[in-house]
Amino acid sequence: MIRNFYILFFFCAFSASIFAQGNVRFEATSDARQIVLSGYFSVTFTIHNAKGTDFQPPNFNDFTVLSGPSLSSSFRLYNGRRNESKGFSYQLQPKKVGKFTIQPASIKVNGKILRTNPLQIEVVKGKNSNATTRKALDEELGNEVFIKAEVNTAEARIGEQVLLDYKLYTTRNIESYNLMSESEYVGFFAQDVRRFNGRVVKEVVDGKQFSTKILKRVALFPQQAGKLSIDPMTMQLYINSESPNQRRSVFFLPKMTPVRVNTDELEINVKPLPPDMPLTFTGAVGKFSIRANINRTKLTTDDALLLRMEVNGNGDIKQIQAPPLQISENFEIYDPKVLEENSFENNGEYKMKKTFEYTVLPKEPGNYDISVAFSYFDTDSLKYITLNTDTLQIVVGKGVLGKRRTTQLAESSIPSEDIRFIKLDTNLKPKEDQFLGSGFFWTLFVLPVLLLLGVIVQKQILNSRSNVDISVLKRKRAKKIAQKRLSLSKKFLDNNDSKAFYDEVSKASFGYVCDKLNIPLADLTKDNVIEKLKLLQVSEENISLFMKVIQTCEMALFAGKDNADAMNETYHSTIDVIAKIEEEIGDLKLADVYSV
């Protein structure tokens, strides 16, 4: 009896689960099969009798999403049966005339994927009366509701922050708004600003009072010079058509009139930076401050000094690079690295913070003063400003490791070390074969002679190298080293890596003139290069071509050019101008210049 009861209970429970599973549905519904081009309709995706997760709507490519997803849920208990549902609703507006299919949506229920049925929507042209009514309504409200695209400056420099506001002007009650299309901001690096003053402000336009409110703010950083256009933004506004005194409740919602508004096309004139850039300028445009610190004030020649420089400002953070350190030649400086790069909002605009770290190795003991310089283009005074940190004083003592290295180098030059391979302690045993005249005998006989000759040749080579003038050696190798750098830049050119390409071309050009004209890197200036080339009687045309290559590389590194044709032209121009200068400069001319 008990066994039959359990069987009956299991059968009923199993049947109930099957019945409940059969009631799980996921369906798509719409309140329209046909819609006029200027109209809008709703689509709802509903899951019945299940708690679904990971809802994925279809792509509404042929429609503009005016609102959604709006969530709704219902629960009903009737004759002991439980029925619940959850819906995801979208309000859509067609983009063009034709027959369109809204693809299925999906949702996950108990590990399984459920999909809705596709929906067919036909979009037709409305009657002229509807179009006329819509046009008349837009014209009527055009003087009462409109939006403007406003910038804080119509002229900017490359890398300067420009604030763009989309501002609503209205005399009507706007219930809500929806962004339909926005410019792609071609030629700018764009960042949305989310924290700004969005309060409603009263303003008078042409003698008429409006309520104004900033709907959206964007921080723009120009990446290239010229006149850059910002396409119009389109918004859908929902205006309350009821009387202001109309009471509102859950059962009586106000009537909404959708109105589409557009901004005018905006143009910003972006000017290039002035050419007289300081050596410590690395792309900062705006307002900046710096500070520096070191990890120690006392060290030896065995220790490494870590110097950190923090840059704060409102410019384009990605354009700013580490400035070169201008310190004593008694230090060896490694390439700096970026420790921190952050951007944040403050007072309605974007601020940036970037921290660089330099690794510096002292060569000689002594007391040194270090000051870090950083230059930026000030957008108020329209000139370059150089900031210097407070002087950092360090004391360098003599280390132990440097002495050991000197001792090792001195010992390596002693000829006696070259015969360490000869075994002085031997263990000879009589053999049946005669040792005298054997191969091993002649090896031991010839080996000391060969080693002695090797020592003599090596010593002569070291003596000849010690008498070589390093400046002469650099001068002879200048073209060869430049060609190696240009071959590396060719790889970056083929990979379309513009930043690395222009960096290598710049290093090849500056390295060539430094080595060829015996100009220290600390004294390298454009005027110095031009003066030296003129002394060597290089033609004005070749000097102009060489300086044009330098200027092109500087502008490309700071403005972010990525034009493949321009890169290819720069590559071939650099090769040609170096070859022409090599032809015009002879060893006799160089000797005359160095003697002066």
Length of the chain: 596
Strands annotated E in 79-207? 81-94, 98-102, 106-109, 112-115, 119-124, 145-151, 155-157, 162-170, 174-181, 188-193, 201-205
In this structure, the strands spanning 63-78 and 34-36 are unpaired
pLDDT in tens, 292-326: 999 999 999 888 899 999 999 998 888 899 998 88
pLDDT surpasses 90 at 140: no
Per-residue model confidence (pLDDT) at position 463: 65
- Laid out side by side, the sheet with 119-124 consists of 34-36, 119-124, 98-102
pLDDT surpasses 60 at 589: no
Per-residue model confidence (pLDDT) at position 141: 65
Looking at residue 314, what DSSP letter applies? S
Best CA proximity match to 63, nearest among 44, 91, 87: 91
Identity at 546, one-letter amino acid code: F
* Integer Cα distance of 321 and 277 in angstroms: 14
> What b/e readout covers 469-501, taking b as 16+ CB neighbours within 10 angstroms?
eeeeeebeebbebbeebbebbbebbeeebbeeb
At 95, the pLDDT band (50, 70, 90 cuts) reads: confident
Best CA proximity match to 211, nearest among 168, 261, 178: 168
* Integer Cα distance of 85 and 72 in angstroms: 8
Best CA proximity match to 187, nearest among 126, 232, 231, 152: 231
430's enclosing H/E stretch is: none
pLDDT surpasses 90 at 400: no
Per-residue model confidence (pLDDT) at position 313: 93
Please compute the mean of the pLDDT values over residues 208-218 and round it to a whole number. 90
At 14, the pLDDT band (50, 70, 90 cuts) reads: very low
Tell me the percentage of the chain whose pLDDT exceeds 70: 78
Per-residue model confidence (pLDDT) at position 562: 66
* Integer Cα distance of 477 and 94 in angstroms: 69
Please compute the mean of the pLDDT values over residues 224-249 and round it to a whole number. 76
Residue with more model confidence, 219 or 569: 219
Please compute the mean of the pLDDT values over residues 411-440 and round it to a whole number. 55
Q: Residue by residue, what is the 3-state secondary structure of 30-81? A: ECCCEEECCCCEEEEEEEECCCCEEEECCCCCCEEEEEEEEEEEEEEEECCE
Q: Which own/partner contact pairs does 23-26 have at CB distance under 8 Å and 24+ positions apart? A: 23/48, 23/49, 23/83, 24/48, 24/49, 24/50, 24/109, 24/114, 25/49, 26/52, 26/105, 26/107, 26/109, 26/114, 26/115, 26/116
User: What are 377's strand-pairing partners?
Assistant: 285, 384
Per-residue model confidence (pLDDT) at position 132: 47
pLDDT surpasses 80 at 476: no
Residue with more model confidence, 521 or 181: 181
Q: Which residues contact 476 (CB under 8 A, 6 or more apart)?
A: none
Please compute the mean of the pLDDT values over residues 71-97 and round it to a whole number. 79
pLDDT surpasses 60 at 425: no
Per-residue model confidence (pLDDT) at position 151: 92
Least confident stretch, 168-182, 501-515, 558-572: 558-572
pLDDT surpasses 70 at 129: no
pLDDT surpasses 70 at 412: no
Tell me the percentage of the chain whose pLDDT exceeds 90: 26
* Integer Cα distance of 306 and 350 in angstroms: 29
Mean pLDDT in the chain?
79
Best CA proximity match to 68, nearest among 47, 87, 49, 81: 87
* Integer Cα distance of 26 and 22 in angstroms: 11
Residue 129, phi then psi, degrees to nearest 5: -65, -40
* Domains recognised in the chain with CATH numbers: 23-126 (2.60.120.570), 131-271 (2.60.40), 281-397 (2.60.40), 470-595 (1.20.120)
* Integer Cα distance of 173 and 206 in angstroms: 20
pLDDT surpasses 60 at 189: yes
> What b/e readout covers 372-406, taking b as 16+ CB neighbours within 10 angstroms?
bbbbbbebeeeebbebebeebebebeebeebeeee
Per-residue model confidence (pLDDT) at position 217: 92
- Highest average pLDDT, of 32-41, 187-196, 441-450, comes from 187-196
Least confident stretch, 183-197, 252-266, 309-323: 252-266
Per-residue model confidence (pLDDT) at position 138: 56
Per-residue model confidence (pLDDT) at position 9: 47
At 385, the pLDDT band (50, 70, 90 cuts) reads: very high
pLDDT surpasses 90 at 457: no
Per-residue model confidence (pLDDT) at position 435: 63
- Rg over alpha carbons for the chain, rounded to the nearest Å, is 39
Tell me if the pTM is above 0.85: no
In degrees, to the nearest 5, what angle opens at C-alpha 585 toward C-alphas 483 and 538? Answer: 105
Residue showing tokens 């071309």: 505
